[in-house]
């Protein structure tokens, strides 16, 4: 099959002898067209997001009488129920959405991988105990946990922080609470998956071999087992970013995430879905935020796939 | 032996979870009667709280709850006071189970073949097209798919009903909206698993024996490659079967997903703990089944 077919091996084609494995991986990554297009796309998107307030005649929170305008030359993406320019709102929502995704993935990477790898590698009692913790957190439906966590913390903050102070910082407090809530649940699946992989890898011969050669546990785990699951970790990480971004949208939909007039892509989609009625179709209120979310997530996924192929030449197409 | 132990552990674990959920909801500030329309006078408030024993210490409330639970009674709902939690579960659960199971079948039925196909056609057009489809699926959430499906198939073309839960036709759009995201996830896990497995020694052995490529893919690689999917299916099924707030909300389906969210927001603790227990029991059973099937599919895995 393809594994034996002679796709020019990335190892040979870039075998300038002085390149480190990481440099070679980077070379391979640069040859991955969908991934590079996605990188450029995200860079352009990021630039646009930050320049938009200067470029656009509309501010994301300016109300007007032009409600529910169909996309036109004045309003490229139309306007919403309060006559706000949708494109301007999309651009300001992008910051929140991307930030939330990055934070969630970071937590999942650091806590999830460490937790799963240690549990799977050590095994026995510790594995049991650590995975039961994950099980328990898993078995509480995450939404209950997050709702109670966020509302409780919010009450606490409200009590501690004096009232007048809150109007300014209230919005960013919400954002921090959102991070805490999403961070608390985003690492669980990663831990389970890593643990399952490590569990089946640690019985392999090459692990026994390096143990026989006197390698320390840390070395075995870090140098022999984890490199074998980079692929799955990276793929799962790219799956975590969209998942976290979606979760944020869900929470915003419930009124626990981003509060109006602030917006994220998720809350914009939720607003659009709220305007759904059998008489008039305001398609742009769903299609544009949806398209923004989908293209950003697509780009992130292509980058993840490209990274995987680059760091794990065995699986490179 | 290991699995018997796990099974025996389930009851204390469930107890612990119920305790955790109970404490979580009861200790958090805010009670179930805070959001009533008319602010009740303090006496009335006290009377209501006394009626539902909210004035007692928490450990006593919890023991009372457990005693009811032992008789199969999840207690009264504190928000929908004409209904018991049992009533609501009895009405909503079958709907959520049906929808969740349909979505699960949809996700597996699309995801596994798609992942298998793209791995088998690796590096060819079929792979690119299929992989793009799989990525697209995980990027288009039910949140977006639901309204889009309603707009096109229900409002514009009148092919399917837009909402409610009556005939089998009503199930089509929600099933797609709920399942499509997971179909993409499964397809990607499947492809990843297949490609990883194709490098294994026993595949080379199978090739050396002269087996046909199809036999290798289907009989040898598939079994190992499907492990990540199996591992993912346990929590997925538990999640899907207990309802989805978004889809039930968008399509106005009377399942229990909506209740879970609303009761957490309302601090309707009997309802929260009841639904959480339901979800937890399902999840623990699923995870156990996953581990059992793991050791059946890959004999090298030992517990």
- Model pLDDT for residues B229-286, shown as the tens digit of each residue: 888 888 888 888 888 888 888 888 888 888 888 888 887 878 888 888 888 888 888 8
- Least Cα distance to A292 among A252, A249, A247 occurs for A249
User: Which of A33, A124, A132, A139 to mutate to probe the B interface, most B CBs <10 Å?
Assistant: A139
Q: Which has the closest alpha carbon to B203: A307, A12, A314, A310?
A: A314
More confident residue, A27 or A312: A27
Q: Are A47 and A241 in contact (CB under 8 A)?
A: no
Instruction: Identify the pLDDT of residue A2.
Output: 40
Q: Count Cα neighbours of A202 within 13 Å in the Cβ-side half-sphere.
A: 23
Q: Does B275 touch chain A (CB under 8 A)?
A: yes
Most confident of A164-178, B48-62, B179-193: B179-193
Is the pLDDT confidence value at B11 over 60? Answer: yes
Map residue A24 onto helix, strand or coil.
helix
Q: Quick one: which of B240, B245, B275 has its CA closest to B258?
A: B245
Percentage of chain B exceeding pLDDT 90: 13
Separation of alpha carbons B294 and A78, rounded Å: 52
How high is the mean pLDDT of chain A? 79
Nearest Cα residue to A87 out of A74, A98, A101: A74
User: What 3-state class would DSSP assign to A203?
Assistant: coil
Nearest C-alpha in A relative to B162: A278
Cα distance between residue B260 and residue B243, in whole Å:
9
- Look at B28 and A144 and tell me if their CB atoms are within 8 Å: no
State the nearest Cα–Cα gap between A258 and chain B, in angstroms. Answer: 16
Using the Cα atoms of residue A56, residue A60, residue A62 and residue A64 in order, give the sign of their dihedral: positive
Alpha helices in B121-155 (DSSP H): 125-139, 142-149
**Averaged pLDDT for residues B153-162:** 79
What's the Cα-to-Cα distance from B275 to each of A127, A158, B146, B240, rounded to whole Å? 28, 29, 25, 14
d(CA B105, CA B233): 11
Mean pLDDT of the A233-262 span: 76
> What are the contacts of B220-224 at 24+ separation with CB within 8 A?
B221/B194, B221/B197, B222/B116, B222/B194, B223/B297, B223/B298, B224/B193, B224/B197, B224/B200, B224/B297, B224/B298
> To the nearest whole percent, how much of chain A has pLDDT over 70?
86
CB A181 within 8 A of CB A251: yes
Is pLDDT larger for residue A314 or for residue A8?
A: A314
Most confident of B18-27, B52-61, B187-196: B187-196
% pLDDT > 90, chain A = 5
Contact between chains at A155 and B30 (C-beta distance less than 8 A)? yes
Beta-carbon separation of B30 and A293 below 8 A: no
Contacts for B128 with CB less than 8 Å, ≥ 6 apart: none
Contacts of A197 (CB under 8 A, 6+ apart): A120, A228, A229, A232
| Residue A261, preceding peptide bond in cis (omega within 30° of 0) | yes
A147 contact residues in B (CB cutoff 8 A): 261, 264-265
Phi, psi of A123 (to 5 degrees): 70, -170
Mean of the per-residue pLDDT values for chain B? 83
Chain A positions in Cβ-Cβ contact with residue B216 (cut-off 8 Å)? 1
Question: Which residue in the set A266, A301, A317 is minimally distant from B123, CB to CB?
Answer: A317
Per-residue pLDDT at A167: 54
Shortest Cα distance, chain B CAs vs residue A315, angstroms: 7
Interchain proximity A155–B29, CB inside 8 Å: yes
Distance from CA of A308 to the nearest CA of B (A): 10
How far apart are the C-alpha atoms of B119 and B130, rounded to whole Å?
9
- Specify the higher pLDDT residue, B182 or B140: B182
Please determine, for residue B227, whether its predicted confidence score (pLDDT) is greater than 60. yes
Instruction: List the single range of B27-41, B63-77, B178-192 with lowest mean pLDDT.
Output: B27-41
The pair of structure tokens assigned to B13 is 């674990």
Q: Are A108 and A187 in contact (CB under 8 A)?
A: yes
CB atoms within 10 A of CB B138: 25
Residue that wins the pLDDT comparison between A147 and B117? B117
Spatial distance between the Cα atoms of A252 and A97, rounded to a whole number of angstroms: 11
Chain A residue numbers with beta carbons less than 8 Å from the beta carbon of B245 are: 143, 250, 254
pLDDT(A280) > 80: no
Q: How confident is the model at residue A275 (pLDDT cuts 50, 70, 90)?
A: confident
- What is the rounded average pLDDT of the residues B98-123? 92
pLDDT surpassing 60 at residue A6: no
CB of B151 less than 8 A from some CB of A: yes
In the block, tokens 């189970």 appear at B97
Instruction: Read off the pLDDT of residues B126-139 as tens digits, 9 standing for 90 and up.
Output: 888 998 899 888 88
pLDDT given for residue B182 in this prediction? 92
CA atoms within 13 A on the CB side of B146: 26
Nearest CA distance, B265 vs chain A (angstrom):
7
Taking 60 as the threshold, does the pLDDT of residue A16 lie above it?
Answer: no
Beta-bridge mates of residue A85: A79
Give the SS3 label for residue B153.
helix
pLDDT tens-digit readout, A53-98: 888 777 777 777 777 777 877 777 788 877 788 888 888 888 888 8
Residues 21-60 of B with CB under 8 A from A: 21, 24-25, 28-30
What are A185's two structure tokens?
Answer: 């649940």
**How far is the C-alpha of A303 from the C-alpha of A309, rounded, in Å?**
10
- Length of chain B, please? 303
pLDDT at B32 exceeding the cut of 90: no
Question: What distance in Å separates residue B291's CA from the closest CA in chain A?
Answer: 10
Q: Is the per-residue pLDDT at A183 higher than 90? A: no
Question: In angstroms, rounded to a whole number, what is the distance separating the alpha carbons of residues A77 and A283?
Answer: 10
What pLDDT is recorded for position B183?
94
Which two tokens mark A27? 């070379």
Residue B222 with chain A: CB contacts under 8 Å: none
According to the model, what pLDDT value does residue A119 have?
92
Check if the beta carbon of residue A111 is closer than 8 Å to that of residue A100: no
For the ranges A34-38, A201-205, B108-112, the one whose mean pLDDT is highest: B108-112
**Both tokens of residue A155?**
């009450």
Residues in chain A with CB shorter than 8 Å from the CB of B144 are 269, 286, 290, 293-294
Residues in chain A: 317
pLDDT of residue A72: 79
State how far residue A66 is from chain B, nearest Cα, in angstroms: 23
Residues 237-266 of B with CB under 8 A from A: 242, 245-246, 250, 260-261, 264-265
In chain A, positions 155-194, which contact chain B (CB-CB < 8 Å)?
155-156, 189, 192-193
Tell me how close the Cα of B102 comes to any Cα of chain A, in angstroms: 21
Quote the Cα angle for A60-A63-A68, to 5°.
90
CB < 8 Å from B in window 203-232 of A: 203, 231-232
Secondary structure letter of residue A140 according to DSSP: S
The three-point CA angle A45-A47-A48 to 5° equals 65
Burial of B73 (0-12, 13-18, 19+ CB in 10 A): middle
Please tell me if residue A303 touches chain B, with a CB cutoff of 8 Å. no
First and final C-alpha spacing in chain B: 10
Is B288's pLDDT higher than 90? no
Residue B106 has pLDDT above 90, yes or no: yes
CA gyration radius for chain B? 24
Which of the given ranges, A96-100, B42-46, B74-78, B98-102, has the highest pLDDT on average?
B98-102
Element (H, E) at A60: none
Question: Which residues 66-125 in chain A show a CB within 8 A of chain B?
Answer: none
Q: What percentage of chain B has pLDDT greater than the value 70?
A: 94
């Amino acid at each position: 099959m393809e594994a034996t077919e002679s796709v020019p091996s990335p190892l040979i084609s870039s075998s300038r002898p002085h390149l480190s494995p990481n440099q070679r991986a980077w070379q391979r990554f640069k040859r991955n067209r969908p991934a590079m297009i996605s990188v450029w796309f995200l860079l352009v998107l990021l630039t646009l997001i930050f320049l938009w307030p200067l470029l656009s005649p509309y501010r994301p929170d300016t109300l007007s009488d032009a409600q529910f305008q169909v996309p036109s030359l004045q309003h490229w993406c139309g306007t919403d129920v309060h006559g706000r320019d949708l494109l301007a709102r999309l651009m300001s929502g992008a910051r929140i959405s991307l930030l939330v995704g990055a934070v969630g993935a970071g937590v999942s990477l650091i806590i999830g991988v460490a937790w799963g790898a240690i549990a799977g590698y050590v095994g026995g009692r510790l594995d049991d105990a650590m995975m039961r913790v994950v099980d328990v957190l898993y078995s509480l439906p995450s939404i209950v946990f997050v709702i109670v966590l966020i509302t409780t913390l919010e009450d606490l903050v409200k009590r501690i922080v004096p009232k007048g102070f809150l109007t300014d910082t209230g919005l960013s407090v919400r954002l921090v609470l959102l991070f805490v809530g999403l961070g608390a649940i985003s690492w669980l699946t990663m831990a389970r998956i890593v643990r399952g992989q490590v569990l089946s890898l640690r019985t392999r011969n090459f692990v026994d071999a390096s143990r026989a050669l006197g390698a320390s546990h840390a070395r075995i785990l870090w140098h022999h087992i984890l490199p074998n699951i980079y692929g799955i970790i990276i793929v799962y990480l790219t799956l975590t970013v969209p998942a976290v971004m979606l979760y944020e949208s869900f929470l915003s939909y419930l009124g626990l995430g981003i509060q109006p007039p602030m917006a994220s892509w998720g809350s914009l989609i939720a607003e659009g879905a709220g305007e759904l009625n059998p008489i008039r179709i305001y398609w742009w209120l769903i299609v544009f935020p949806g398209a923004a979310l989908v293209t950003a997530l697509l780009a992130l996924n292509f980058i993840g796939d490209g990274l995987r192929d680059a760091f794990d030449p065995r699986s490179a197409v | 032996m290991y699995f018997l132990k796990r099974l025996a552990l389930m009851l204390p674990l469930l107890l612990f979870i119920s305790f955790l959920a109970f404490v979580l909801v009861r200790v958090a500030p805010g009670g179930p009667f805070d959001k009533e329309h008319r602010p009740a006078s303090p006496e009335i408030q006290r009377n209501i709280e006394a009626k539902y024993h909210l004035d007692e210490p928490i450990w006593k409330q919890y023991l009372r709850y457990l005693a009811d639970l032992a008789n199969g009674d999840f207690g009264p709902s504190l928000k929908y006071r004409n209904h018991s939690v049992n009533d609501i579960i009895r009405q909503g659960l079958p709907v959520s189970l049906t929808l969740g199971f349909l979505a699960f079948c949809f996700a597996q039925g699309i995801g596994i073949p798609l992942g298998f196909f793209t791995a088998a056609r690796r590096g060819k057009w079929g792979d690119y097209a299929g992989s793009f489809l799989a990525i697209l699926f995980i990027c288009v959430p039910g949140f977006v798919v639901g309204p889009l499906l309603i707009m096109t198939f229900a409002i514009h073309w009148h092919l399917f009903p837009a909402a409610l839960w009556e005939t089998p036709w009503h199930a089509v759009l929600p099933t797609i909206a709920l399942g499509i995201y997971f179909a993409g996830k499964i397809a990607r896990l499947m492809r990843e698993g297949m490609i990883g497995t194709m490098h294994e020694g026993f595949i080379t052995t199978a090739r050396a024996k002269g087996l046909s490529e199809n036999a290798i893919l289907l009989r040898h690689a598939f079994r190992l490659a499907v492990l990540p999917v199996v591992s993912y299916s346990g929590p997925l099924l538990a999640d899907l079967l207990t309802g989805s707030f978004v889809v039930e909300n968008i399509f106005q389906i009377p399942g229990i997903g909506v209740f879970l969210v609303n009761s957490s927001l309302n601090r309707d603790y009997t309802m929260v703990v009841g639904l959480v227990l339901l979800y937890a029991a399902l999840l623990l059973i699923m995870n156990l089944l996953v581990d059992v099937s793991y050791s059946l599919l890959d004999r090298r895995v030992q517990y």
